[in-house]
Every structure is written in C-alpha cells, then in structure tokens.
C-alpha cells in the first residue's frame, strides 16, 4: 500500500515538473519568436533606422546651436528621399531634397563670422522674415496640393503637403538661426506622426516623437540663448 502511495506521489510530482517545463518551454518559444520577428523587422527597415538615427542626432545638434546639425542632417535627408519615394510620399521626398539644399546653405551661413561674431546669430524674425517665411509656406503648400492631387497616386495628399510645407518653412528660418523655426518644426512633427503611422514607418514615428520633444526643448533653449545674448548688449 505504501508502495502504491509513493508511486502515485512520484507520478504526481513528475506531472507537475512536466507541466512546469512545458510552460517554460512555451514561454521561451514565444520570446524567441518575438525576438526573431523584431530582428526580421529591423533587417527589413535598416535604412529607415539609419535615417531616423541621423535625423535625431541632427535635431540634437540644432538644439545645441551646433553646426554639426547640417552634416548629420544631410545623411538623414538623402536617405529619406529614397525611402519616401518607395512609400509614395512624393511631397516628403521633394521636401527632403529641399532640406539637402537648405542644409548646404545653412552650413555656409552658420560658418560665416565677422570679427569673431556669427553673421547669423540666434534671433527673432522681423516683419520681412515673417513675410518671406509665410510666402514659402503658402507657395509650397499650394504647389504640393495641386501636384499630388493631379499628378500622383498619393493617398495622403493633405497631410503630406502640410508636413512638407511647414518643415520647409522651418528649414528656411533655421538656416538663418530664427527662433520661429522651432514653432514650424513643432507643427510639422505633430502632423507627421499620424501620417507615417498610417504608412507603417514605425522607426520614423518614433523619430518624430523624439523630434517633437527636441523641438520644444530647442525652442526653450534658443529663447534662453537669445535672452543671454540680448542681456550682454
């Protein structure tokens, strides 16, 4: 009788061990499947990841008022020209090429010095710069709406155009170190989030969340730097 009881206890113990092992094995298998899926996704989106990484680094440098914003930004925008064309974001492809041109212009402008002082210090837009910036925004917005609606198969005409127009305006002002550029970046980043989410560009969505945070931080930082410079006068 004792033998039977011991045998039954032993069998129950074996069953418990087997169930625990099965649960852990299933958990291990699930984790491995998730890691494999993440790795496969990363491999298929490597170019997007690299572009997003350099984009974030570029905005980080711009917040610090560091000229390295431009070489790092150039890497990002050229990669995004290609990515946007693949995903039929034609306006964003065009505006990223515009970023490239303005990055070269900004790089030159930010390098200029006169008597050891920057020719383009941090400042606010005057009336003339406001008019130019708004003109850039409206011209690009209307042009893109017309072009995307009539000549492409874009499925995000309004969003794509608005993101591109506001970002182009931000780039225009940033090349001259205008504080208002950050307001335009904030607008562009907010609109871009749902746009890229719909296109399933998840690394880019994360990038734009970081962009939005850095844009707010950059606005605060530049305003403080302007006040410091103004106080020295």
83-98: per-residue pLDDT in tens?
Answer: 888 877 777 788 788 8
Structure tokens at 135: 């003109």
Q: What is the percent of the chain with per-residue pLDDT over 70, rounded to a whole number? A: 75
What is the residue-averaged pLDDT of the chain?
80
Q: Which residue bears the tokens 């930004």?
A: 73
Map residue 171 onto helix, strand or coil: helix
Where is average pLDDT lowest: 10-14, 119-123, 207-211?
Answer: 10-14
Structure tokens at 133: 């910036």
Decide if pLDDT at 70 tops 80.
yes
Grade residue 130 by pLDDT with cuts at 50, 70 and 90. Answer: very high
Mean pLDDT of the region 169-174: 91
pTM: predicted TM-score of the whole model, two decimal places: 0.67
Element (H, E) at 158: helix 157-174
Decide if pLDDT at 2 tops 80.
no
In whole angstroms, give the CA distance from residue 155 to residue 33. 33
205-208 own/partner pairs: CB under 8 Å, 24+ apart: 206/52, 207/52, 207/55, 207/56
CA dihedral 175, 178, 180, 181 (to 10 degrees): 20
Map residue 118 onto helix, strand or coil: strand
In whole angstroms, give the CA distance from residue 31 to residue 41. 15
- pLDDT of res. 40: 56
Element (H, E) at 117: strand 117-118
199-227: per-residue pLDDT in tens?
Answer: 777 777 888 898 899 899 999 999 998 88
Map residue 18 onto helix, strand or coil: helix
Decide if pLDDT at 38 tops 80.
no
Structure tokens at 221: 């930082």
């Amino acid at each position: 009788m004792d033998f039977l009881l011991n045998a039954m206890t032993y069998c129950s113990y074996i069953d418990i061990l087997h169930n625990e092992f099965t649960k852990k094995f299933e958990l291990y298998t699930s984790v491995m499947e998730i890691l494999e899926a993440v790795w496969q996704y990363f491999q298929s989106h490597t170019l997007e990841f690299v572009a997003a990484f350099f984009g974030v680094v570029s905005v980080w440098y711009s917040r610090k008022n560091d000229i390295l914003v431009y070489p790092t930004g150039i890497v990002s925008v050229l990669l995004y020209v290609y990515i946007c064309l693949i995903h039929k974001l034609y306006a964003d492809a065009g505006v990223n090429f515009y970023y490239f041109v303005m990055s070269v212009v900004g790089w030159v402008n930010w390098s200029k010095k006169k008597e050891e002082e920057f020719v383009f210090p941090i400042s606010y837009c005057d009336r003339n710069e406001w008019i130019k910036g708004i003109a850039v925004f409206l011209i690009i917005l209307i042009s893109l709406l017309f072009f995307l609606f009539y000549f492409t198969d874009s499925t995000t005409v309004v969003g794509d155009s608005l993101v591109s127009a506001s970002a182009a305006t931000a780039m225009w002002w940033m090349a001259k170190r205008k504080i208002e550029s950050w307001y335009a970046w904030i607008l562009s980043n907010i609109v871009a989030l749902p746009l890229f989410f719909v296109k399933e560009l998840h690394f880019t969505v994360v990038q734009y969340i970081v962009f939005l945070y850095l844009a707010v931080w950059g606005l605060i930082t530049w305003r403080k730097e302007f006040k410091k410079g103004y106080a020295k006068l």
